[in-house]
Structure 1
Amino acid sequence: MICIDSLHISLNRTLLLSIGLWPYQQSNLVRFQIVLLFAILTTCIIFQFTAFLTSKCTLDLFINVFSSALSLLLFVIQYTWFHRNIKIVKCLLEQLLNICNDLTDENEISIMKEYGSYAKRYTVGLMLIVIIFVFILILYPFWPHILDILLSTNESLSRPPLSGMFVTEYFVDQKKYFYLILLHGNAALFIGIATVLATGTLLIAYLQYACGMFRIARIACSYRLKQAFAVDTLRKGSLQNKNVIYKALIHAVDMHREAMRFSDSSISKFKVMFFFMIVVGVISASLNFFRLFQALTFRYDAERFLLPLLSVITYISYIFIGDYVAQEVMDHNNDVFVTVYNIQWYTASLNIQKMILFLLQRSTKIFSLNIAGLIVGSLEGAVTLLSTILSYFTVLYSIRT
């Protein structure tokens, strides 16, 4: 009997617990935590739009506000959707547990554990990258003071400008309440980054286990059927051997169906979320790419380059990592078709050949993870999104110049 702790998602559970989205522990304290974190995210967005009330509305102000506000809006969308569909997250976990518990072959169990370890490596690697990003964000406003200490210069430095991170308007003296405002902005960023990390790595874990199921289906077709066909050539018409082949085929078909169903459910349940994230993300990435281009090329507001840089890196990384994992699912499904096709199925009896046709016909249909009805989860889809971002950036550049 496999439990949740055996699925190699202990890190994912810790991350989800930190933001109140672990589906098995939803106490009143956790609900208060969710409200608090959601309030921090939304108020940080609101206080950016209030800048339009006290400043002249220009194209530069519009780009600066919307580029950072839409980045935070992505975090809000993902946090809200996972919270509202937390029962779906729980259902997928239980479905995965049931699939693993139904496995009886030791080799198949080891395959699922192997792909669980792959998911854990994704989580650990992304956590290390995020820790580096967070460290940079914390130290960024204080770099002038740090350099002053290291270089032993006696120049008096004022507090770093808040505009280095966000364009905000809190209707208070920003110099007096500098650290409180900085804490609010950093807290919103950290909550958002933790949300993307926790939910994204969980979806990666789901798809990695789906890859494991496709591999089990492929092995069931290759190893078991090859053994059965070898015996079948020696014992032509043996009823016992036909039963072995039938069981192997049924197991392969069932596991292939479960893999397709589980991987599709892992994405289809969040199609609406992905739709809004793609639309908002493309606009946000285009605006941040434009800000980054201005900062690095024309030295325009160069102190504001860090947030656009991290936003662009985060969004592009999210696209390519997500689409790469989806591409792995497609490739594993194609491997099943190649394996079945390469088996000497034509040497078997006519009834067995008819059963194998079920796998061949199923595999000839292209199986892909359709993301929000906009793109197909694959490396080609990632390139399509990137080209869309560059197209919007080109439009912004032509308007600005």
Structure 2
Amino acid sequence: MISIKNRHFNVHRILLLAIGLWPCQRSRLVQFQMILCFGILVSSIGFQLLTLITTEFTFDHVINAFSVGLVFTMYVIMYNAFWYNFTEIVERPLEELQHICNELKDKEEIVIMKKYGDNIKRFTFYALVLYICDLIILLPTISLSIMPNTFTVALHISESELRHILYKYIPKYFVDRKNYLCVVLLYFDAIVCIGATTFLATGLMLFAYLKHACGMLRIASYRIKKAINIRNNICPKNEAIMYKGIIYAIHIHRTAIKFSTIIFFSLHLSLFAFVIVAVICLTLNLYAVAKIALHENSIDQFFHIIIIIGIFVYLFFFNYMGQELTDHNNDVFLTVYNVQWYVAPLRIQKLILFLLQRGNKNVNLNFGGVFILSLEFFASLMKVSTSYFTVIYSMQD
């Protein structure tokens, strides 16, 4: 038997526990933790937009404020999506996955599911390493307190220049902002830590769910091959085994599709809003990088480049997950095409014909009734962001 939580979701459990979103007894302490994390993320949006009121209102300053404020908005959207749909996205899918794995009796099917679980663990490890590296780069307070000179020397800037950059994102009339700069930096560090952990934890959970769904589809292909391969000495007993095997394949195929679509149906409004905000944020940060490049302000440009890379990677893997599920579903029906169905009894052939007809309908993850997760959709998002950036930049020139 495969223990899903201990074998495949160990790191996910730690990350979600850190932000209060792991399924456990909902004690008052956990509820307070969730309210605190969500409150910090929501306050970050207001804090950033406050700079529009307390400073001179210019187009470039609006771009700077929204390019960062929309990142905080994406944090809030993802945290709220998992908090609001906690049972449908975190608790119930884990129980259903454990139930599905408990039903697997064939050794080859267990090996297939373990193989996809190992892929999840490998990807999680790489993502965790990237997450730690990002935190080391994005947390100037930790870098300056633990390694006083390393951060500034590595980026070839002085501490005064770093303070000048940070003042752009602190309201002008913030009470004694020079003396309380460390407090403000700690506040921003908390936002980055909670937001980055939210991004990582929620993204890894969705990735793990869809990887398990792909594993189920692979098992469906295996069951079809195994059923049709029983073609020697076709007798009523073997025919019943073939029929039963195909039914089992159809059952786990339907389970995989239902499992993945229900999760994304619970998230479709949140993901719709997330994609819209991500495209706008990506456009504004592209403009900020191009504008700052003219003034040769490397640290500020570096800050926006980190945001661009983060959005790019997150959108890519979102769409990659959808594309992989579609490809695995197509592989199931490609298997049906390739097996020697013509040697099977007539009743089995009719059942296979039904499967072939079902294969004409693509299985896609869509949300908002508009967007379909795929690599083609990812390319369209990048094209749209680049087009908007070009328009804004040409209008300013």
Common fold: TM-score over 0.5: yes
CA contact (8 A) 2:326 2:363 kept: yes
Q: 1:166 to 1:242 in 2, by over 3 A?
A: farther
Q: Partners of 2:394 and 2:153 in 1: how far apart? A: 42
Match status 1:345 vs 2:341: yes
Alignment of 1:117-266 (within 5 A): 117-139=118-140, 142=144, 146=149, 158=160, 160-161=162-163, 163-164=165-166, 167-169=169-171, 171-226=174-229, 228-229=230-231, 231=232, 235-236=233-234, 238-266=235-263
Residue equivalent to 1:65: 65
> How far does residue 7 in structure 1 lie from its aligned partner after superposition?
4.3
Match status 1:48 vs 2:45: no
> How far does residue 33 in structure 1 lie from its aligned partner after superposition?
0.8
Unaligned runs of 5+ in 2: none
Of 261, 283, 286 in structure 1, the residue corresponding to residue 283 of structure 2 is 286
Give the aligned residue type for 2:34: I
Of 246, 256, 267 in structure 1, the residue corresponding to residue 264 of structure 2 is 267
Residue equivalent to 1:400: 396
Q: Partners of 1:382 and 1:150 in 2: how far apart? A: 37
Residue equivalent to 1:29: 29
Give the aligned residue type for 1:214: L
Q: Partners of 1:114 and 1:203 in 2: how far apart? A: 18
Match status 1:91 vs 2:127: no
> How far does residue 41 in structure 1 lie from its aligned partner after superposition?
1.4
SS of residue paired to 1:289: helix
SS of residue paired to 2:170: coil
CA contact (8 A) 1:164 1:303 kept: no
SS of residue paired to 2:203: helix
Residue equivalent to 2:319: 323
Give the aligned residue type for 2:365: L
Q: 1:80 to 1:353 in 2, by over 3 A?
A: same
CA contact (8 A) 2:72 2:195 kept: yes
> How far does residue 149 in structure 1 lie from its aligned partner after superposition?
9.2
Alignment of 1:73-84 (within 5 A): 73-84=73-84
SS of residue paired to 1:305: helix
The Cα offsets for residues 195-247 of structure 1, whole Å up to 9 and x where unpaired, read as: 00001000000000001001000011113321x12x1xxx34x1111111111
Q: Partners of 2:151 and 2:198 in 1: how far apart? A: 35
CA contact (8 A) 2:315 2:378 kept: yes
Q: Partners of 2:107 and 2:158 in 1: how far apart? A: 68
Calculate the aligned-residue CA RMSD, in Å. Answer: 2.4
Residue equivalent to 2:14: 14
CA contact (8 A) 2:228 2:340 kept: no
The Cα offsets for residues 143-162 of structure 1, whole Å up to 9 and x where unpaired, read as: 996269979x9x99547315
The Cα offsets for residues 61-113 of structure 1, whole Å up to 9 and x where unpaired, read as: 11010110011100011101111110112111111111111111111112111
Q: Partners of 2:131 and 2:288 in 1: how far apart? A: 22
Alignment of 1:357-372 (within 5 A): 357-372=353-368
**Superposition TM-score, scaled by structure 1 size:** 0.92
Q: Partners of 2:104 and 2:246 in 1: how far apart? A: 15
Unaligned runs of 5+ in 1: none
**Superposition TM-score, scaled by structure 2 size:** 0.93
Percent identity (aligned)? 39
The Cα offsets for residues 325-344 of structure 1, whole Å up to 9 and x where unpaired, read as: 22111111111111111111
Q: 1:158 to 1:62 in 2, by over 3 A?
A: closer
Q: Partners of 2:77 and 2:336 in 1: how far apart? A: 42
SS of residue paired to 1:29: helix
The Cα offsets for residues 137-189 of structure 1, whole Å up to 9 and x where unpaired, read as: 124884996269979x9x99547315348522162121110100111112101
Q: 1:56 to 1:90 in 2, by over 3 A?
A: same
Give the aligned residue type for 1:182: L
> How far does residue 368 in structure 1 lie from its aligned partner after superposition?
1.2
CA contact (8 A) 2:152 2:159 kept: no
SS of residue paired to 2:162: coil
Q: 1:193 to 1:127 in 2, by over 3 A?
A: same
CA contact (8 A) 1:162 1:178 kept: no
Number of equivalent positions: 392
